[in-house]
Amino acid sequence: MLDEITVQVIGCFEAGVITVIAFTGVGMLDGGFTIELPTEMIPANLRMPNSEFIVVRDRQSGEFTQLFQKTNLNNI
């Protein structure tokens, strides 16, 4: 089973790792949490702070398997 998690980039605090906050808009006190993702998993255009995208996590292994750019369908 797979989970799709919306995340927002906080920044790069160590080489090769991008730190993101999961469940943006919820906040850390209300259930949001940070995740560290390998830099090579994230396209260069989504590595800037405040960039938002969706990561797919395998529930059994806990590994992040895919990444999707969020699209705003209201602007089409």
Q: Could you report the per-residue pLDDT of 17-52, keeping only the tens digit for each?
A: 999 998 766 666 666 789 999 999 999 999 999 999
| DSSP 8-state code for residue 23 | S
Token pair, residue 28, equals 């850390």
Strand 33-38 relative to strand 52-58, pairing: unpaired
The reply to whether 64 falls in a domain is no
Q: Which domain holds residue 11?
A: 1-39
The reply to whether 52 falls in a domain is no
The reply to whether 54 falls in a domain is no
Question: Which pTM value belongs to this model?
Answer: 0.80
The reply to whether 24 falls in a domain is yes
Q: SS3 of 13, please?
A: strand
**pLDDT at site 25:** 64
Counting the structural domains of the chain, the total is: 1
Which helix (H) or strand (E) element contains residue 4?
strand 2-14
The reply to whether 20 falls in a domain is yes
Mean pLDDT for the stretch of residues 64-76:
72
**pLDDT at site 74:** 45
